[in-house]
Each structure stands twice: as structure tokens, then as C-alpha cells.
């Protein structure tokens, strides 16, 4: 029995101060070139919360628009404010940085994160207004500390500062005196990932209309590692986030694979359900502070705002087949193997064309492809091109080569079967999965039948292999569960009685 | 004679463009020695 996608969560968090303090482009620049023009100009290019909300791609991500709106709005989008600029959307919200600091504290089990007293008094009531935040989460927020304590920790003890509009409002301290894996820097990154995963899980449950107690297993597929010096990537973000989100009946584990991790995790979740091991599995991932402002230098050079100013989160709830929701079909699965090779042609061939060929399908039989949903507003000015479009061109080229369509139809194929990129460049977040929520709705509405989700990962960044990676699967309209033929107890009694009668008759006849 | 003949090359590939190993093969076939090759990710 195939699993189904019951609901999805897609929150964003606008974190302007974290762009300056925690993005690796900025932290690296402060080390190698502290007096650089970039660092001097950067502050003038930070967007306000209102500007981040009035940004079309962000509104698509949280579900207030479908991706098609980006085909209608003239590119680039950063200078065209969206008329819809709501905080809350169908699949999530754009949470302000200040309320997120409180959620980070609620996710902190070891008293590592401290916030200033007046700050807590000001923003805790704001967070309490948010219907998705539970009483249990609010109860975990501390009263707050004096500013002097914060200054002392940041200035004298290497604590990581938390700022709001440049003002010091809190800190994250190290969890061990000498272990780098538990340093303030790592703990901040991990608390950010955990807290945004918690938020994602809550929105996915809401969308699925399910109770936290229904979830039996959680898989985290983010890109951070938690552990100490004896087990650097020991884990487990999944169970840690499940605890804060109140999933009391769940256990879980972490899956890693760079940007391909969400597709690996979804494959495993769908398999766990198909095998009957669990009935309800959540896949979740929080955001990365490291990638904030990653392409900032090019954006500032071109006098654009810093567009990588949001953390992204993602979660989805899979259950056993309910005969309604779209199914994950693991029979048509693309796999990039060790022997596949790393050329774009080989990668797309293994992930898209080969599985369709095995299933007797044409490339054009898939309504939409979701390979990598990076927002081109971010990547094009930085010289990385339009990543979703490049993927679609390669898929289209292989379709032409295979004879599935004519060369002259290539451009139409890209626009008809592709999805315009709308996801923040948060590594694992844009890889295939941002479209799951929209795809689920389109399939439920009967507008499409089959969508292919393609995850691709840059394994070579870990310097253990030069290999690329990827895995793909199909999401399809629910075909319904075939009723297995069953026989009731009464029917069995009837059959036995009938057999005994026949036997008795045969004995009488034989006399 | 290729402009790369006898040269030493540092290869930086792009994850969403041409990967390092592919560039290395081209550069080596043109007579250069690849002293470093990697593929980077900008997204």
C-alpha cells in the first residue's frame, strides 16, 4: 500500500541581524577582509520585515500564491512588491526574528540561550498571539536576564550575540568549555535548525488536520550536525524537535545527504509506511544560518537588497493510504548510483529518464517536474543562472534525444512541465520538496496526475568523495486501495456446514 | 599546440554547471597538469 501526503508545512523566518552575524559569507569576510567595502555597505541593503513579506517568492513559499504567479510578474521580482504581504499563509508564516528568538529559547533544553528581560516582556505577548504556538512552548520561555549579563557573556566569554536592529538582546553560550562541537557558534546553528523544524512540524500537522500524538516516527533531513567531540554527528534533531513540538508518541532519526537529503528522507518515510512498520511518519528540516546572505557580495555589487534574509523550514506528514490524498509511488524511482557519473546529462538521465523508461512512460507523461526550486531572483544576479530552468532544459533535451518530443517543442516543454523557482537558497530546503504542498493541492483539485520530485546533492563538499548524488520519486493522484477479498466468520461457518452436508450426502449415496 | 600544453591548472567546477572532474578531463586532454580540482556549490 502506497503512503500518501497528508499535509505540508513551509514556514520562513526573517532574520536580518543573523544575516550580518551568522552568514558564512559575512563571517568569512570579517576574518579575511574586515575593512571591506562589502561589509561597510551591507547594512544599507537589508530588507525590512514588511519588505520580506511583500516579496512574491516568499508569499509563494508560504502558500498565499501558487508558483504560476511568478510567470505573470515581470522578472526580476525584488523591486515589485506583492499586493499580498500577509504574515500567515496556507502552509506557514513569515515569522519575525524577535519572536523566533523566543521559539529558539523554548527549543533550548540546556539553558544556553538567554534573552534580555524587557525584550521578553515585549515579544512574548506577540508570540502568544500566534495560534500555532502551543501553551507548552510558551511555558518554556524564561523571564529574561539583565543586559549587563548579556554584555559580559558576549564580550568576555565568546558567547554568540543575538541582536535586534543591531541592539544586543541576548546570547547563546557554549555547551562545553573546550569541545568545538558544542561551541556557542554550533549551538546557535543547531538551535536555529531545531526551532525552525519545530515550527515546520506544527504547520504540517495543522495542514494535515492531525494530532501531534498521531505521529509515530520523525525523520530530520536538514544539513546541520549535532553531537560532541566523541560523536560529532551523533544526532538526533528529529527526536529533539519532536519533543518540543509535542509529538509524544514519536521516535525518529536523522538522514543526511546535502541537498538530496529531503528526497532520501521521503523515500525512507514512504518505505516505512509501505512496509507497514509505521502508519504516520513526519519528514522535517529546519533552516541554516550559514547560508544567509551567501550571494550577498554580488547582490550588494549590483545594488540589490540582500535577498537571502530568511531561514526556510519544511515538513510533511505521510500516512498509510487514505484513498484521498496523493500517493508517493516508489515503483518509479530514479537513483544516482556510484557508477552514474557526474555530468549533468548522466545525472538527469539517471534521476528522470531512466525510471520513466523502466515504467514505460514518456518524459512528457509527467505533468510537472520539481528538481531544484532555487529562486532565480537570488541566483541570476550572482552568476549561478536560473537553476530550475537549467534542470528543465536538460530534462527536455533528453526527452528530445529519446524521441518523446520534437526539438521545436523544447521551450514549451520547459514552461509547461517546469515550475518557476521560489525557494530561499537554504541548501536542502529548495531541493525538490518546496513544491510538494502546491503539488498535493493541484492533484487533489484534479488539475494534474503525476509530479516528479528530484533531489540532488553535492556530496563533494564534504571532501570524502567527488561523487554527486540524487534520488527522485513520483507523487501521483490517489488510485484507491484495492479491497482485499476477506471472508467473515459466518461465511466460514456456512462453508464448513455446506461441506459437511455434501460429505454426509455422499456417504448416504454410497450406501 | 594547445594553449594549455605544459601548463598547471587549478580547476573549480560548478555544481549547477560543469563539474570539476569533467573540466579536468578536458584540461588534461589539452596537455595541462591538473594540480587541484574541486566542484563548488553556490546555491
The domain segmentation of chain A, as residue ranges, is 3-476
Of A343, A425, A458, the CB nearest to B15: A458
Whole-number pLDDT of residue A492: 84
Please tell me the distance in Å from A297's CA to the nearest CA on chain B.
12
Tell me if residue A326 falls in helix, strand or coil. coil
CA–CA separation, A311 vs A303, rounded Å? 22
What's chain A's average pLDDT? Answer: 96
Of A342, A390, A461, the CB nearest to B16: A390
Instruction: Tell me the per-residue pLDDT of A133-191, one tens digit each, with 9 for 90 and over.
Output: 999 999 999 999 999 999 999 999 999 999 999 999 999 999 999 999 999 999 999 99
- CATH class for the region spanning A3-476: alpha beta
CA distances from A38 to A177, A468, B1 (A): 34, 32, 42
Cα-only R_g, chain B: 11
Whole-number pLDDT of residue A342: 84
Map grid coordinates 492531525 to a residue. A210
Whole-number pLDDT of residue A498: 87
pLDDT band at A508 (very low <50, low <70, confident <90, very high): confident
Contacts of A295 in chain B (CB under 8 A): 42
Contacts of B41 in chain A (CB under 8 A): 258-259, 458, 461
Dihedral, CA atoms, A220, A222, A227, A233, nearest 10 degrees? 100
Cα nearest neighbour of A387 on chain B: B16
Percent of chain A with pLDDT over 70: 99
| pLDDT of B16 higher than 80 | no
Cβ-defined contact of A466 to B21 (cutoff 8 Å): yes
Whole-number pLDDT of residue A482: 61
In A302-321, the residues whose Cβ lies within 8 Å of chain B are none
In 3D, which of A348, A429, A452 has the Cα closest to residue A394?
A348
Cα nearest neighbour of B40 on chain A: A461
The β-bridge partners of B11 are: B37
Instruction: Tell me the per-residue pLDDT of A376-405, one tens digit each, with 9 for 90 and over.
Output: 999 999 988 999 999 999 999 999 999 999
Of B16, B18, B21, the CB nearest to A385: B16
Instruction: Tell me the per-residue pLDDT of A444-466, one tens digit each, with 9 for 90 and over.
Output: 999 999 999 999 999 999 999 98
Instruction: Tell me the per-residue pLDDT of A68-127, one tens digit each, with 9 for 90 and over.
Output: 999 999 999 999 999 999 999 999 999 999 999 999 999 999 999 999 999 999 999 999
Whole-number pLDDT of residue B1: 66
Joined grid coordinates for residue A20: 550580518
Joined grid coordinates for residue A134: 502551543
In 3D, which of A481, A423, A408 has the Cα closest to residue A453?
A423
Cβ-defined contact of A385 to B17 (cutoff 8 Å): yes
pLDDT band at A504 (very low <50, low <70, confident <90, very high): confident
Of A372, A382, A460, the CB nearest to B42: A382
CA–CA separation, A280 vs A5, rounded Å? 10
CA–CA separation, A393 vs A411, rounded Å? 8
Joined grid coordinates for residue A142: 524564561
CA–CA separation, A123 vs A109, rounded Å? 20
User: pTM for this structure?
Assistant: 0.92
| Vertex A66 angle, CA A63 and A68, to 5° | 155
Cβ-defined contact of A342 to B17 (cutoff 8 Å): no
Phi, psi of A484 (to 5 degrees): -75, 140
Joined grid coordinates for residue A211: 494530532
| pLDDT of A487 higher than 80 | no
A390-415 core/surface letters (b: 16 or more CB in 10 A; e: else) = bbbbbbbbbbbeeebbeeeeeeebbe
Contacts of B43 in chain A (CB under 8 A): 372, 374, 379, 384, 387, 425, 427, 430
In A80-139, the residues whose Cβ lies within 8 Å of chain B are none
Angle between helix A237-245 and A184-208 (nearest 10): 60
In A365-424, the residues whose Cβ lies within 8 Å of chain B are 372, 374, 379, 382-385, 387, 390
Cβ-defined contact of B43 to A385 (cutoff 8 Å): no
Of A344, A382, A461, the CB nearest to B41: A461
Of A127-131, A269-273, A480-484, which gets the smallest average pLDDT? A480-484
Whole-number pLDDT of residue B18: 84
Cα nearest neighbour of A374 on chain B: B43
> Between chain A and chain B, how many beta carbons pairs sit less than 8 Å apart?
45
Percent of chain A with pLDDT over 90: 92
In 3D, which of A98, A130, A123 has the Cα closest to residue A203?
A130
pLDDT band at A341 (very low <50, low <70, confident <90, very high): confident
Phi, psi of A175 (to 5 degrees): -105, 5
DSSP secondary structure string, A406-465?
-GGGHHHHHHHH-----B-S-TTTTSSGGGHHHHHHHHHTTS-SEEEEEEEE-GGGGSS-
Please tell me the distance in Å from A25's CA to the nearest CA on chain B.
11
CA–CA separation, A490 vs A494, rounded Å? 6
Cα nearest neighbour of B16 on chain A: A387
Q: Confirm if A270 and A235 have CB atoms less than 8 A apart.
A: no
User: How many CA atoms does the CB half-sphere of A112 hold within 13 Å?
Assistant: 25
Cβ-defined contact of A460 to B38 (cutoff 8 Å): yes
Q: What is the DSSP letter of A492?
A: H
Any domain includes B1: no
Cβ-defined contact of B42 to A466 (cutoff 8 Å): no
Cβ-defined contact of A466 to B39 (cutoff 8 Å): yes
Dihedral, CA atoms, A216, A438, A327, A415, nearest 10 degrees? -140
CA–CA separation, A240 vs A69, rounded Å? 37
Whole-number pLDDT of residue A500: 87
10 Å Cβ neighbour count for A241?
31
Please tell me the distance in Å from B40's CA to the nearest CA on chain A.
7
Contacts of A342 in chain B (CB under 8 A): 19, 21-22, 39
Instruction: Tell me the per-residue pLDDT of A180-203, one tens digit each, with 9 for 90 and over.
Output: 999 999 999 999 999 999 999 999
Cβ-defined contact of A466 to B41 (cutoff 8 Å): no
Please tell me the distance in Å from A260's CA to the nearest CA on chain B.
13
Whole-number pLDDT of residue B43: 80
Domain span at residue B22 reads 8-40
Average pLDDT, stretch A265-286? Answer: 98
In B1-40, the residues whose Cβ lies within 8 Å of chain A are 14-22, 38-40
Amino acid at each position: 500500500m502506497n503512503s500518501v501526503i497528508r499535509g505540508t508545512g513551509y514556514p520562513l523566518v526573517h532574520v536580518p541581524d543573523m544575516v550580518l552575524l551568522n552568514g558564512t559569507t559575512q563571517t568569512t569576510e570579517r576574518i579575511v577582509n574586515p575593512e571591506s567595502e562589502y561589509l561597510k555597505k551591507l547594512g544599507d541593503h537589508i530588507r525590512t520585515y514588511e519588505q520580506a513579506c511583500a516579496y512574491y517568492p516568499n508569499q509563494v513559499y508560504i502558500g498565499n500564491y501558487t508558483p504560476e504567479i511568478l510567470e505573470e510578474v515581470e522578472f526580476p521580482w525584488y523591486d515589485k512588491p506583492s499586493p499580498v504581504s500577509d504574515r500567515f499563509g496556507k502552509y506557514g508564516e513569515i515569522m519575525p526574528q524577535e519572536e523566533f528568538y523566543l521559539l529558539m529559547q523554548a527549543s533550548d533544553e540546556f539553558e544556553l540561550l538567554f534573552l534580555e528581560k524587557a525584550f521578553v516582556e515585549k515579544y512574548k505577548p506577540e508570540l502568544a498571539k500566534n495560534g500555532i504556538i502551543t501553551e507548552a512552548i510558551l511555558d518554556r520561555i524564561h523571564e529574561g536576564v539583565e543586559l549587563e549579563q548579556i554584555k559580559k557573556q558576549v564580550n568576555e566569554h565568546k558567547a554568540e550575540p543575538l541582536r535586534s536592529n543591531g541592539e544586543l538582546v541576548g546570547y547563546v553560550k557554549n555547551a562545553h568549555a573546550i569541545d568545538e562541537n558544542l561551541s556557542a557558534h554550533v549551538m546557535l546553528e543547531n538551535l536555529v535548525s531545531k526551532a525552525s523544524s519545530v515550527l515546520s512540524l506544527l504547520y504540517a500537522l495543522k495542514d494535515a488536520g492531525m494530532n501531534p500524538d498521531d505521529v509515530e516516527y520523525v525523520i530530520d533531513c536538514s544539513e546541520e550536525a549535532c553531537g560532541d567531540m566523541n560523536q560529532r554527528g551523533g544526532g538526533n534533531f528529529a527526536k529533539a524537535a519532536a519533543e518540543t513540538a509535542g509529538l509524544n508518541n514519536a521516535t525518529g532519526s536523522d538522514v543526511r545527504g546535502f541537498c538530496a537529503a529531503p528526497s532520501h528522507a521521503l523515500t525512507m518515510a514512504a518505505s516505512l509506511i509501505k512496509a507497514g512498520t509505521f502508519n504516520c511518519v513526519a519528514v522535517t528540516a529546519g533552516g541554516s544560518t550559514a547560508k544567509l546572505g551567501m550571494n550577498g557580495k554580488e547582490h550588494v555589487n549590483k545594488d540589490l537588497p540582500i535577498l537571502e534574509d530568511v531561514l526556510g523550514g519544511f515538513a510533511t506528514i505521510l500516512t498509510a493510504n487514505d484513498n484521498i490524498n496523493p500517493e508517493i509511488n516508489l515503483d518509479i524511482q530514479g537513483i544516482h548510483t556510484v557508477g552514474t557519473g557526474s555530468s549533468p546529462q548522466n545525472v538527469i538521465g539517471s534521476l528522470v529518464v531512466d525510471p520513466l523508461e523502466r515504467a514505460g512512460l514518456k518524459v512528457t507523461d509527467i505533468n510537472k517536474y520539481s528538481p531544484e526550486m532555487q529562486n532565480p531572483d537570488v541566483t541570476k544576479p550572482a552568476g549561478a543562472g536560473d537553476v530550475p530552468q537549467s534542470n528543465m532544459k536538460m530534462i527536455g533535451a533528453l526527452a528530445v534525444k529519446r524521441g518523446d518530443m520534437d526539438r521545436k517543442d523544447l521551450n514549451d516543454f520547459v514552461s509547461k512541465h517546469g515550475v518557476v523557482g521560489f525557494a530561499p537558497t537554504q541548501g536542502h530546503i529548495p531541493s525538490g520538496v518546496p513544491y510538494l504542498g502546491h503539488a498535493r493541492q493541484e492533484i487533489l483539485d484534479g488539475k494534474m496526475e503525476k509530479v516528479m520530485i528530484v533531489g540532488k546533492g553535492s556530496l563533494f563538499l564534504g571532501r570524502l568523495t567527488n561523487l554527486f548524488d540524487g534520488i527522485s520519486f513520483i507523487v501521483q493522484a490517489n488510485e484507491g486501495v484495492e479491497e482485499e477479498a476477506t471472508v467473515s466468520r459466518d461465511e466460514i461457518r456456512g462453508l464448513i456446514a455446506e461441506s459437511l452436508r455434501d460429505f454426509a450426502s455422499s456417504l448416504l449415496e454410497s450406501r | 599546440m594547445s594553449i594549455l600544453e605544459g601548463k598547471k591548472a587549478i580547476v573549480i567546477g560548478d555544481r549547477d554547471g560543469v563539474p570539476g572532474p569533467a573540466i579536468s578531463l578536458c584540461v588534461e586532454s589539452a596537455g595541462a597538469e591538473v594540480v587541484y580540482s574541486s566542484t563548488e556549490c553556490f546555491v
